[in-house]
Amino acid sequence: AAGVIQSPRHLIKEKRETATLKCYPIPRHDTVYWYQQGPGQDPQFLISFYEKMQSDKGSIPDRFSAQQFSDYHSELNMSSLELGDSALYFCASSLKTGGGSEQYFGPGTRLTVT
Amino acid sequence: KQEVTQIPAALSVPEGENLVLNCSFTDSAIYNLQWFRQDPGKGLTSLLLIQSSQREQTSGRLNASLDKSSGRSTLYIAASQPGDSATYLCAADRGSTLGRLYFGRGTQLTVWP
């Protein structure tokens, strides 16, 4: 079965640079979530999109922005990178039902800021 | 905000033991409680999903239960194996269709032969 695809898998950037992370959800899934997991930390919710509209927003810095495109893939854009942005970034997708729905996670993008 | 706590933080057992991992959450108005497995530096693999109308789910040697009234979920692993060594995280939503998950810090499990 198709899974969530994230690219790149690894990314090394310098401080103050920009980075773009991509997520391709499971086909026919209509909701995408982004999470950030710092070293030794639990994943923290950043932002989500339902049918290409932002549906929820968590602790996402103003330096970050994201969108979901017509083909349902999503991109997380990160500018003015800081050392503290080094983390594992997960994308998850789901098919929204009347209540909550199971989220399927991608393998993550490991971002290292030097 | 949903607060999720997992006990114990780490567990080391010999192969063959039956294990119980605990998860507690503060907001009982949840839709879903998911258990995940994470290997070091890797992604999150969904193990079991318990919806609010359910009390437990089973998959192979894994059984997860949910008690919304007490704000608790347990993951039971039968006949543990070295390949079960990983960090196990539970995550709960907050009972809205927005769906964001709140994660616990996880239980780091080591099963030695």
Measured CA distances, B109 to A20, A49, B28, B81 (Å)? 34, 34, 27, 11
Q: Is the Cβ–Cβ distance between B12 and B36 less than 8 Å? A: no
Burial class (CB in 10 A: 0-12, 13-18, 19+), B105: middle
Which of A44, A101, A108 minimises the CB distance to B99? A101
pLDDT in tens, A55-71: 999 989 999 999 999 99
Check pLDDT > 90 for residue A46.
yes
Chain A residues with CB-CB distance to B49 below 8 A: 102
Q: Say how far apart CA B88 and CA B106 lie, in whole Å.
A: 5
Percent of chain B, pLDDT > 90?
75
| Record: contact B99-A31, CB cut-off 8 A | yes
pLDDT-based confidence at residue B17 (cuts at 50, 70, 90): very high
Q: Say how far apart CA B97 and CA B30 lie, in whole Å.
A: 10
Whether chain A has a CB inside 8 Å of the CB on B51: the answer is yes
The pLDDT score that the predictor gives to residue B97 is: 61
Where residue B16 falls (left for φ over 0; alpha for ψ -120 to 50; beta otherwise) is left
pLDDT in tens, A22-39: 999 999 898 999 999 999
- Residue B15 is given by DSSP the state T
pLDDT-based confidence at residue A98 (cuts at 50, 70, 90): low
Which residue type does B4 have? V
Of the candidates A48, A89, A43, the residue with the CA atom closest to the CA atom of residue B4: A43
| Record: contact B101-A98, CB cut-off 8 A | no
Q: Say how far apart CA B50 and CA A9 lie, in whole Å.
A: 30
Whether chain A has a CB inside 8 Å of the CB on B104: the answer is yes
Check pLDDT > 60 for residue B51.
yes
The token duo for B78 is: 């039968």
Chain A residues with CB-CB distance to B97 below 8 A: 96, 98-100
| Record: contact B98-A56, CB cut-off 8 A | yes
Is the omega angle on the peptide bond into residue B113 within 30 degrees of 0, that is, cis? no
Chains A and B: how many Cβ contacts under 8 Å? 74
Q: Say how far apart CA A62 and CA A60 lie, in whole Å.
A: 7
The pLDDT score that the predictor gives to residue B30 is: 82
Count CB neighbours of B29 within 10 A: 12
Provide the Cα torsion B26, B29, B104, A97; round to 10°: -170
- A100/A59: higher pLDDT: A59
Check pLDDT > 60 for residue A99.
no
Chain A residues with CB-CB distance to B89 below 8 A: 42-43
pLDDT-based confidence at residue A97 (cuts at 50, 70, 90): low
Choose the weakest-confidence range: A105-109, B34-38, B41-45.
B41-45
